[in-house]
Copies of this chain bind each other. A is one copy, B any other.
């Protein structure tokens, strides 16, 4: 059965190369400017071929969405080494914002974009897992008396909304009222302020 195995390998390689091409175009040209035809041209196949490997455009984006998430998840799991939950929480927040700024197209895919949401409700496992890491950390903080006696979910969503709000305002250029050169410094202060408001509970 060496032949079918090789064929499976080739099939996987093809899927991979489609996804890679799509992601590259994504990062280069932005979400809205990626078309099936462009992806096809990039890998030097006809557009129709892509439909032999993915049912539609959404499936490609959903796949990339998942991969972006597992990338992010890996970064967040790194923080689990940090013993002190408050320090860990701060690091998770910093990671989040850094990820958003370093990989805006990935972030877009993960948290902002509208497109491939049909499947999101049933299959957003990475999202849940990532939220759970945050949740877990906050639970520890509360246990150790750092965050008052609050509902874990309330605090978790509060924290997440905080960093996501910042990240998406930046990515979508809605902080135009702040001079560009002052922004990085200011952002750091905002993050510091955020953790401070939490710590002094």
Contact = CB atoms under 8 A, between A and B. Distances in A.
Interface of A: 30-32, 111-115, 117, 120-121, 124, 127-128, 131, 150-151, 153-155, 157-158, 160-166, 168-169, 172-178, 186-187, 189-190, 193-194, 197-198, 200-201
Contact of A176 (B127, B163, B168, B187): B127
B193 A154 contact: yes
Contacts of A117: 172-173
B127 A174 contact: yes
27 contacts: A32-B114, A32-B115, A111-B169, A111-B172, A112-B172, A120-B173, A120-B176, A124-B176, A127-B176, A128-B177, A150-B193, A151-B186, A154-B189, A154-B190, A155-B193, A157-B166, A157-B178, A157-B187, A157-B190, A158-B162, A158-B190, A160-B165, A161-B163, A162-B162, A164-B165, A197-B201, A200-B200
